[in-house]
Chains A and B, each alone.
Chain A
Amino acid sequence: MGATRVFVPSDTTARSVGADAVAVAIQSAAEKNGSEIDLIRNGSRGLYWLEPLVEVEVDGRRLAYGPVGAGDIASLFDANFLAGGDHPRALGATEEIPWLAGQTRLTFARVGIVDPRSLDDYIAHGGYEGLGEAVKLQRAEIVEIVTESGLRGRGGAAFPTGIKWNTVLGAEGEQKYVTCNADEGDSGTFADRMIMESDPFLLIEGMTIAGLAVGATQGYIYLRAEYPLAIEIMNEAIASAHAAGYLGEDVAGSGQTFELEVRVAAGAYICGEETSMLESLEGKRGMIRYRPPLPAIKGLFGAPTIVNNVISLATVPIILAKGAGFYRDFGTGRSRGTLTVQLAGNVRQGGLVEVAFGRTLRELLEDFGGGTATGRPIRAVQAGGPLGAYVHPSKFDAPLDYEAFAEFGAMLGHGGLVVFDDTVDMAEQARFAMEFCAIESCGKCTPCRIGAVRGVEVIDRIRSDVDRGANIELLKELCETMVDGSLCALGGMAPYPVMSVLEYYPEDLGAD
């Protein structure tokens, strides 16, 4: 019998709760016991409430134990966990854990399963099948497949990815670029980080296909500095892909060049806005640009540029591999395929839930989330990041669907859900939305730069009961001005959480 394969996740969250110490303890216990093991540092399966989640492969099946602390290792060896022995931490076969079995993992098919630092492992699990299809196609055919799939961007606008690509394909220009917005700055989101840390070749493959589709020879991943591990793993993966001929000249025998580079951001939230990101990539202050021209026509260094999110690009390979219809058949209405929901904040079972569009918010929060971590009732859920509305429990039967959320002034966006229990002070949350906007405003337009500062002041006056009625009216008018008058989504959407507090939690602002 060969060495038993043992998997200990190495993504940021698993490590943040002690996975490295667990790996060290398993290795040294195995040496002491004379057990032959092959310790693999996989990515995380995204069952974050069970991290560190250790898996052992027994008879070709992976069995899970979690959450495992370094202090559990001795008793795990005593229970003979290397042969699947029973233990209080035993969770059975990983794939059969209901939380995971109830998901539809398309984009995240390999995440947590493979060793993210191994190109061979990626290929052994179906990696580069999408690119293999793409090299057989004409450019317009690739774009057509992406359009047909119904894939939409995961930003606030939910813009169809294929239409964007088609604009870049049709734009005049000797040099074109593919840029990936990996400045995942929104609280409650970690799906991009998971892809980059747990399945980095997937993003590389998606960007390579984008490059082939529009004739771009250079790609950039604009990656936030707050993700040091993702930066390290992405750079390593790019080097491996390059060495194997999946990047560089004549990519995978296509005859086309595609080079890829990571550019590290520097902690400005506004650089998640696409034009600001392009300015930053050009080495400037991240000030947003007027639109038009669209980045698809005049983007990076004035050239036609694709700007896509990590999840959009990482979903392209499976669409090419399995066909547009395969992806489009999941979902509801105009929201096709899957959404990678991120359950975050005060939630008992937090983590990554990839499901087809159409499931209700309540299913996510209760069935997957299991309610709050504190055991208290849920009072509010902020959806779509710091610029998204606070969703009141009366809306929890809404389906996960871009249009359905927009109907009550909320944004589904990237699917980040931050849960708050009933101890939350919604006036304080409203104030934070304005405070954050004031800190992060690029300063180009007045409604955002000045409005956010005034917003904090007005909310402070309301909270200290100074001329409350008049100040509430003033706050509403200020929100309207910012929404209508700001140049980009920062000033234009920061009022959304504030307006949701005004509408659904007026009692926290002292209204009668």
Chain B
Amino acid sequence: MLPILHAIQAKLGYVPYAAVEPVAKVLNLSRAEVHGVISFYHLFRTEPAGDRTLYVCRAEACQSMGARELEAHAKERLGIDFHETTADGRISLEPIYCLGNCACSPAVMIDTEVHGRVDAARLDELLAES
């Protein structure tokens, strides 16, 4: 089921409620089982995302290099909390637990592009570019 859900999300940006029934039908499962899978995994969205998604790493290696401050800065600068999207629909903010970029912490990812050694000023630059 995961490859199907990934394909839906890649196409639409999220997995809408309307997708649950056809997926259940094709896999011969109940709607509850499909919903259960979608809700279990952090990376499946059930609401549309902004034009770009900013993932800020919250894990230990990044913490040791100021990720907590970076997280606070991102929230303040965008005026939103995790799992929210800016009012203009441009950016969604999500937490992430490790991008495997731990020797160049702190790290963020914008859509699928990872950036290392990101401080508040660098994050502002990245957001201005995106």
Interface residues in chain A, defined as those with a beta carbon under 8 Å from any beta carbon in chain B: 12-13, 15-17, 48-49, 51, 184-190, 192-193, 225-229, 263-269, 280, 283-286, 342-347, 350-351, 373, 382, 386, 416, 418-421, 424, 429, 432, 436, 440, 442
CB pair A263–B102 under 8 Å, yes or no, is no
Bound CA span A346–B40, Å: 33
Question: Using Cβ atoms and an 8 Å threshold, which residues of chain B touch A185?
Answer: 97-98
CB pair A226–B105 under 8 Å, yes or no, is no
Bound CA span A446–B2, Å: 27
Known pairs A17-B116, A267-B42; A280 contacts B2 (CB<8 A): yes
CB pair A16–B61 under 8 Å, yes or no, is no
B53 close to A (CB within 8 Å): no
Bound CA span A479–B67, Å: 27
CB pair B60–A226 under 8 Å, yes or no, is no
Bound CA span A404–B112, Å: 40
CB pair A187–B61 under 8 Å, yes or no, is yes
**In the complex, how many angstroms separate the beta carbon of B118 from the nearest chain A beta carbon?**
9
CB pair A432–B64 under 8 Å, yes or no, is no
A49 (CB) vs chain B CBs: closest residue: B103
CB pair A285–B36 under 8 Å, yes or no, is yes
Known pairs A17-B117, A185-B98, A345-B105; A267 contacts B41 (CB<8 A): yes
Known pairs A267-B42, A344-B105; A16 contacts B116 (CB<8 A): yes
Question: Using Cβ atoms and an 8 Å threshold, which residues of chain A touch B36?
Answer: 285
Contact partner of B60 (CB less than 8 A), chosen from A12, A284, A285, A382, is A382
Bound CA span A278–B125, Å: 41
CB pair A418–B102 under 8 Å, yes or no, is yes
Known pairs A16-B104, A264-B2, A266-B41; A373 contacts B65 (CB<8 A): yes
Question: Using Cβ atoms and an 8 Å threshold, which residues of chain A touch B60?
Answer: 187-188, 345, 382, 386, 418, 429, 432
Contact partner of B103 (CB less than 8 A), chosen from A48, A263, A280, is A48
**In the complex, how many angstroms separate the beta carbon of A382 from the nearest chain B beta carbon?**
6
Bound CA span A280–B10, Å: 19
Bound CA span A432–B6, Å: 30
A230 (CB) vs chain B CBs: closest residue: B100
Question: Using Cβ atoms and an 8 Å threshold, which residues of chain A touch B101?
Answer: 12-13, 16, 190
Q: Mark B26-38, 1 if CB is under 8 A from A, else 0.
A: 0100000100110
CB pair B64–A419 under 8 Å, yes or no, is yes
Question: Using Cβ atoms and an 8 Å threshold, which residues of chain B touch A225?
Answer: 6, 43
Interface residues in chain B, defined as those with a beta carbon under 8 Å from any beta carbon in chain A: 1-3, 5-6, 27, 33, 36-37, 40-44, 59-65, 96-105, 107, 109, 112-117
A282 (CB) vs chain B CBs: closest residue: B1
CB pair A187–B59 under 8 Å, yes or no, is yes
Contact partner of B114 (CB less than 8 A), chosen from A16, A382, A386, is A16
**In the complex, how many angstroms separate the beta carbon of A152 from the nearest chain B beta carbon?**
22
Known pairs A345-B64, A420-B64; A16 contacts B102 (CB<8 A): no
Bound CA span A269–B43, Å: 11
Question: Using Cβ atoms and an 8 Å threshold, which residues of chain B touch A416?
Answer: 102
CB pair A186–B98 under 8 Å, yes or no, is yes
The 6 closest A-B pairs by CB, nearest first: A350-B103, A187-B59, A267-B43, A344-B102, A266-B41, A16-B116
Bound CA span A267–B58, Å: 13
**In the complex, how many angstroms separate the beta carbon of A48 from the nearest chain B beta carbon?**
4
CB pair B98–A187 under 8 Å, yes or no, is yes
Bound CA span A330–B103, Å: 26
Known pairs A16-B107, A373-B65; A286 contacts B41 (CB<8 A): yes
A421 (CB) vs chain B CBs: closest residue: B64
Bound CA span A342–B119, Å: 22
**In the complex, how many angstroms separate the beta carbon of B103 from the nearest chain A beta carbon?**
3
Question: Using Cβ atoms and an 8 Å threshold, which residues of chain A touch B63?
Answer: 345, 429, 432
Question: Using Cβ atoms and an 8 Å threshold, which residues of chain B touch A12?
Answer: 99-101, 114
**In the complex, how many angstroms separate the beta carbon of A197 from the nearest chain B beta carbon?**
9
Question: Using Cβ atoms and an 8 Å threshold, which residues of chain A touch B27?
Answer: 283
Question: Using Cβ atoms and an 8 Å threshold, which residues of chain A touch B116?
Answer: 13, 16-17
CB pair B6–A345 under 8 Å, yes or no, is no
**In the complex, how many angstroms separate the beta carbon of A96 from the nearest chain B beta carbon?**
21
**In the complex, how many angstroms separate the beta carbon of A179 from the nearest chain B beta carbon?**
14
